[in-house]
Structure 1
Amino acid sequence: MSEAAGSWLARLGLGRPELRAWAMYDWANSAFLTTIVAAVFPVYYNNVAAKGLAPEAAAFNFSMGTTVALAVSAVGAPLLGAIADHRPYKKAFLLGFMAIGALCTMAMALIGEGDWALAIGLFMLANIACSGSIAFYDSLLPHIAAPEELDRVSSSGFALGYLGGGLLLLLNLAWILKPGVFGLPDAGIATRLAFFSVGVWWMVFSVPLLRRVPEPAVAGGGHDSLGAATRHALADLRETFTHLRRYRQAFLMLLAFLVYNDGIGTIIRMASLYGAQLGIAEGHLIGALLLVQFVGVPFAFIFGWLAGKIGAKQAIWLSLAVYAGISVLGYFMKTAVHFYALAILVGTVQGGSQALSRSLFASMIPRERSSEFFGFFAVTERTAGILGPLTFALAIALTGSSRGAILSVIAYFVVGALILSRVDIEAGQAAVRNGGNLKLDI
């Protein structure tokens, strides 16, 4: 690698091989988040798998399936994370979840007309696996990046995720819109091929992390048996609130993230279904979400740079203000042009808000308990994902329409921003340096 290239990568937070390999997992799993969660699968589910169901019933089943999957993820993440802090299992757990998720995604190619139960079942399993793998992926961050690198490395991971997910979605979109050009008989077969390609992509681009990112050292040498590690993990979980009281600012960050990420998760997961029910054509829905991916690449880097100028907390506030505006505009959305405009706005803030939340939390937790604490972070993220779709489902049940539900998420952004204002980053980082011994009462 030339000196100029090395210097450029270092400025982006990717100056070392292990940092680049770690960030490539964002590239790998983002294909699932784009093609499956956000773009192609919700539309295929609505138009094909749920054919014969009333639109409200289809949306309700989809929302509840998402809710159950995220609930299962939330329950399991802390225990597995605590086990991985006693045994060198972070990469093994990541590999296991990745393999399950990728295989379930490939199996989505089997979903046909009216197979809504199979579609939701595979979608739930793949979501659980993806969430589990990301929790262990996140927990590796404080082990490979210095404190001053966290914001840039985390933001660069999201930027690569946008680029990788966007490139595969672009290919998937080409297959679906022009199947004959690729020798495919119709858009339905092309969509199934897209699902299969996501699983392959996810597996292949996970290899750099598995090869180049070292398994972090475990306190005490990590020689406990699995049974002993599990017993210790359960004991640790019983002390969860004690740990969080010792790291008060990390706890406040979790609480803030729980609230405002509820709104973010709802917009990500329900946007395509919402657009489809307003009558926006499938090509426009997928094209707009593809636009989010490529707008997100430069803005993820920009938010990493912005955090260095004004601070991570202030940069997150800015993103939440934009999200509140998106919710208002979404209520009035009627045409594909409106959907494209909202896609651009989402692309400017989506990666930055989540990347900086991850890095800000990582800066306020002890490295030796990174899996346990990121297990709590995963619970927070999954719980937010539960409340958002559940709110959406209840709003549909009460009003018979999806449009009014979009306004409800504004409250999450406002309340989350207020809680975030109480986070003292310097005190949180000082608590880590002092082993959580600062006298900070909640």
Structure 2
Amino acid sequence: MNPRRARVYAWALYDVGNSAFATVVMAGFFPIFFKEYWSGDLPATESTFWLGAANSVASLLILASAPLLGAMADGGGGRKRFLAAFTGLGVVATAALYLVPAGAWPVAAVLYTLAAIGFSGSMVFYDAMLLAVCRERHFDAVSALGYALGYLGGGLLFAFTVVMTLQPGWFGLAEEATAVRLAFLITAGWWAAFTLPLLRRVPEPMLGPRGGGIVAGLAELKTTLGRVGRLRPVVLFLAAYWFYIDGVDTIVRMAVDYGLAIGLETGDLILALLLTQAVGFPAALAFGRLGARLGPRRGIEIAIAVYLGVVVWATYLDSALEFYLLAAAVGLVQGGIQSLSRSLYARIIPRDRTAEFFGFYNMLGKFAAVLGPALMGGVGLVTGSPRAGMGVVALLFVVGWLLLRRVDEEAARRQARELEGRNDL
């Protein structure tokens, strides 16, 4: 295989590994297992609080540290080293969930928090390494390839673990609880295995000045803050991204809870998640082609329009069939809006500070994961209607779209190139 192509696939395969954690653990089994197995003796509201706290703590820690970590990596040429460290944390914590006995919800919550930190932290450096594997004209297609393989790999493992939990006897297991615990262990091994190609084949891009360490990282972070402030189109894009990805993350994290709140069965919700994964694989590839043809911003706008339709429809749905249809619609655009956002952002930032700038990018994404579900839950609590809570999510997509339309991509690229190699800001 051509060395450049080999690097592309090695990079994209990492998405196969970490997407398994996002699908099997974060969106799939952990929320249900936490409530029914580890915290079964707690009142439902209390177990929900602790699960939300685990998610919020992980997100807030990444929110606080992502820009500094990115600055340290750019200064010391350590993207792969940091990616490996965060991945190792996530893998070990996920595997350790297998050992947690029934009722030990504090241990489960701590391990899940550590695993989520590993997952989110690794993405800062994974996204930044896009520039090390392809040229700019291929950003859309390569970014989409990563998300597409993530949907495929994560979906296949999720399907396998669902079958294993539904029919534990087929696998020589005594009960469903054992199968779910084993699913955490399998996911950890899967994540680790698909990290190895990136560590072996993707070169460490040495784009920034040598440095490293916390002191150097803080100095680089101060410089980055100044640079971000001077790049007005980048600031506008980050603001737009924060709003619309807030909506995306809210739907991802709250879909199962919303379905249960309006009376749908757990089995239907799990099947809907599988459907989203199945549709997401070809759709992410298609969006990569769409971005190459129409431009990434136009592709993002199309995805936002679909999400608006999904949110409006969700406020009226009352059957499992409708939930399946909405899951398919989300699968059509979820990978596309994520991959095209990543490739558009990579176009408008200085090439010698990619990890720093992607630190801000991921920071905003994780900050959305803190506030979005809280907004939906708060409105639902005040109004007494989960449908009203879902409806308010539409505002996030509208504001994101309005800000995105104001981003001048050409001006951003020109300003970013002018700042490359400069340390006088």
TM range (shorter): over 0.9
**Correspondence 1:307 to 2:291:** yes
How many Å separate the matches in 1 of 2:372 and 2:177?
A: 30
How many angstroms does 1:387 deviate by? 0.9
Aligned length: 421
**How do 1:413-428 and structure 2 match up within 5 A?**
413-428=397-412
How many Å separate the matches in 1 of 2:12 and 2:216?
A: 31
**Correspondence 1:190 to 2:179:** yes
Give the direction of change, closer, same or farther, for the CA distance of 1:322–1:111 in structure 2 (3 Å limit): farther
How many angstroms does 1:340 deviate by? 1.1
**Correspondence 1:181 to 2:170:** yes
Q: What do residues 109-143 of structure 1 show as CA deviations (whole Å, max 9, x unaligned)?
A: 23444433333222211111100001100011112
**Correspondence 1:353 to 2:342:** no
How many Å separate the matches in 1 of 2:180 and 2:316?
A: 30
**Correspondence 1:49 to 2:38:** yes
How many angstroms does 1:61 deviate by? 3.0
* 8 Å contact from structure 1 (residues 31, 201) kept in 2: yes
How many Å separate the matches in 1 of 2:86 and 2:384?
A: 37
Equivalent position of 2:48 in the other structure? 59
How many angstroms does 1:308 deviate by? 1.7
Percent of aligned pairs with the same residue? 42
Q: What do residues 188-230 of structure 1 show as CA deviations (whole Å, max 9, x unaligned)?
A: 111111111111100011000000000111434x2x4x4xx43
Equivalent position of 2:57 in the other structure? 68
How many Å separate the matches in 2 of 1:203 and 1:166?
A: 17
> Where does the alignment leave 5 or more consecutive residues of structure 2 unmatched?
none
**How do 1:274-289 and structure 2 match up within 5 A?**
274-289=258-273
Give the direction of change, closer, same or farther, for the CA distance of 1:19–1:312 in structure 2 (3 Å limit): same
State the TM-score, normalized to the length of structure 1: 0.90
Paired amino acid for 2:158: L
Q: SS state of the match for residue 76, structure 2?
A: coil
2:317 pairs, out of 312, 333, 343, with: 333
> Where does the alignment leave 5 or more consecutive residues of structure 1 unmatched?
7-13, 438-442
How many Å separate the matches in 2 of 1:355 and 1:177?
A: 33
**How do 1:145-224 and structure 2 match up within 5 A?**
145-220=134-209, 222=210, 224=211
How many Å separate the matches in 1 of 2:404 and 2:243?
A: 10
* 8 Å contact from structure 2 (residues 21, 191) kept in 1: yes
**Correspondence 1:137 to 2:121:** no
* 8 Å contact from structure 1 (residues 56, 396) kept in 2: no
How many angstroms does 1:396 deviate by? 5.0
Q: SS state of the match for residue 249, structure 1?
A: helix
* 8 Å contact from structure 2 (residues 94, 115) kept in 1: yes
Equivalent position of 2:22 in the other structure? 33
Across the aligned residues of Structure 1 and Structure 2, the Cα RMSD in angstroms comes to 1.9
Q: Which moved more, 1:325-334 or 1:134-143?
A: 325-334
Paired amino acid for 1:231: V
* 8 Å contact from structure 2 (residues 379, 388) kept in 1: yes
How many Å separate the matches in 2 of 1:427 and 1:283?
A: 49
How many angstroms does 1:436 deviate by? 6.5
* 8 Å contact from structure 1 (residues 366, 435) kept in 2: yes
How many angstroms does 1:44 deviate by? 1.8
How many angstroms does 1:399 deviate by? 4.5
How many Å separate the matches in 2 of 1:38 and 1:380?
A: 20
Q: What do residues 5-32 of structure 1 show as CA deviations (whole Å, max 9, x unaligned)?
A: x8xxxxxxx9611111000011110000
How many Å separate the matches in 1 of 2:264 and 2:183?
A: 21
Paired amino acid for 2:251: I
